[in-house]
Amino acid sequence: MTGITATTLADGRELIYFDDGATARPRTAATTTDHRPLPERGEPGQVRFDALTDEWVAVAAHRQARTHLPPADQCPICPTTPNNPSEIPAPDYDVVVFENRFPSLGPAVGHVPSTPAWGTTGPAYGRCEVVAFTPEHTGSFSGLSEARARTVVEAWAHRTEALSKLPGIRQVFPFENRGADIGVTLHHPHGQIYAYPYVTPRATAIGAAARKFYDGSDGRQTLTGSLLRAEREDGSRMVMEGENFSAYVPFAARWPLEIHLVPHRQVPDLAALSGEERDELAHVYLDLLKRLDALYPTPTPYISAWHQAPLDDLLRPASYLHLQLTSPRRAADKLKFLAGSEAAMGAFINDTTPESVAERLRAVVVPASAHSPAATSPAPLGALPEGAHA
């Protein structure tokens, strides 16, 4: 259980405190009121239709002025102090979600034009939120306690459900960029949630493949579920198996480090997970991040991307929640850059083998405090649990 307290910032943006445990901390106006003289929020940026690829592109020139790697005493997502009136008015917190002051999408919500062509533009409707994982300025998600990670899972689920109900929203995407090599603009451990007014190109491609497979099985099987079953039966790329989740390096991994974390039953999004599944997710996700960081002497940059079912009547029935955890790190001192083949053609060339990466991740010894019976490195690989939807 998680305590939840909602409030607003000085410019009207929504902010929500998520507290570890069932009871929210006592919060008074004296400790949660934002006293900063903030300017009024601007209008949304713009989306433009790319007729060549049948895709929408957001134009957000106002983001050039956003905060970039400030010193610790000026961090905008540390708790407020007399010398640093930050985005979070309280002097302490567990997890906080708030609307981004420099959003790529929003703050207004609505629908993009339904029949776009060359030259079509529209407001960049949507919502962009920041998820602060901890009041501590240093560290990373992998250093959180399991209880705190569980609170973050609850925040993701809560926001997924709320954002999915906003007018015009077609896809909700929680993610984390970790590390300067990925391009983060704040050192403080945090993630983001984007609520798009369109289905993104990657989700469209995944959704189309999933729907084709689903229709080919007369709606009896899902593509992601069948891939999970195949990977578990093969075993060579498995990283861990739990009661409700399993993780593996995919057969055709694009990135030097790539791990997919998949629930054993088909659910569309994080909001649809049961309490038991959310409990295990907090554990196995921490385990994966610790394994990733243990591969090299220094922390590994990564993108943690939660693929949730689009809010689309055609794609949603065949879609299946899963995490894609990727890193461009191909050696202790080398990164993979997306150059000609990848950036221009979308044709990836991987510098590692998925089997060797999985073997290295399995071999990592995670500290004993992080272990529980909920998840283990794969022992004998068995069938999916009874009732799992493949």
Q: How many CB atoms neighbour CB 7 within 10 A?
A: 17
Tens digit of pLDDT for each residue in 346-390?
A: 999 999 999 999 999 999 988 765 444 445 555 433 333 333 444
Domain limit, last residue, from 167, 198, 229: 198
Range of the domain at 167: 2-198
Amino acid, res. 73:
D
Burial (0-12, 13-18, 19+ Cβ within 10 Å), 68: exposed
Is 10 part of any domain?
yes
> Quick check: 233 pLDDT over 50?
yes
Q: Say which residues have a Cβ less than 8 Å from residue 376's Cβ, sequence separation at least 6.
A: 240, 241, 242
Q: How many CB atoms neighbour CB 135 within 10 A?
A: 18
Residues 207, 175 share a domain? no
| pLDDT tier at 29, thresholds 50, 70, 90 | confident
Query: How far is it, in rounded angstroms, from Cα 224 to Cα 209?
Result: 10
Q: What is the mean pLDDT of residues 255-268?
A: 98
Query: How far is it, in rounded angstroms, from Cα 155 to Cα 162?
Result: 11
H helices of 7-106, in order, are: 29-32
Domain count, the chain: 2
Is 389 part of any domain?
no
54: left (phi over 0), alpha (psi -120 to 50) or beta: left
Question: Which has more confidence, 27 or 118?
Answer: 118
pTM: 0.93
Q: Give which of 178, 378, 373 is closest to 292, Cα–Cα.
A: 178
Q: Give which of 321, 380, 375 is closest to 203, Cα–Cα.
A: 321
Q: Give which of 306, 13, 45, 5 is closest to 153, Cα–Cα.
A: 306
Q: Is residue 147 within 8 Å of 219, Cβ to Cβ?
A: no
Domain limit, last residue, from 141, 170, 198: 198
- 264 marked as part of a ligand binding site: no
Question: Which has more confidence, 372 or 248?
Answer: 248
Residue 18: per-residue pLDDT: 95
Residue with tokens 């990466």: 357
Residue 373: per-residue pLDDT: 43
Residues 173, 215 share a domain? no
- 75 marked as part of a ligand binding site: yes
Residues 246, 347 share a domain? yes
Cis check for the bond before 107: say yes or no (omega within 30 of 0): yes
- 260 marked as part of a ligand binding site: no
Q: What is the mean pLDDT of residues 271-289?
A: 98
Residue 42: per-residue pLDDT: 87
Q: What is the CATH number of the domain that holds 266?
A: 3.30.428.10
Residue 369: per-residue pLDDT: 52
Tens digit of pLDDT for each residue in 284-331?
A: 999 999 999 999 999 999 999 999 999 999 999 999 999 999 999 999
Q: What is the mean pLDDT of residues 73-81?
A: 96
Residues 68, 27 share a domain? yes
Residue 163 φ/ψ, nearest 5 degrees:
-70, -30
Is 107 part of any domain?
yes
Q: Catalytic residue positions?
A: 190
Residue 376: per-residue pLDDT: 55
Residue 386: per-residue pLDDT: 34
**Please, what is the average pLDDT of the chain?**
92
Q: What is the mean pLDDT of residues 195-212?
A: 98
Domain limit, last residue, from 143, 170, 198: 198
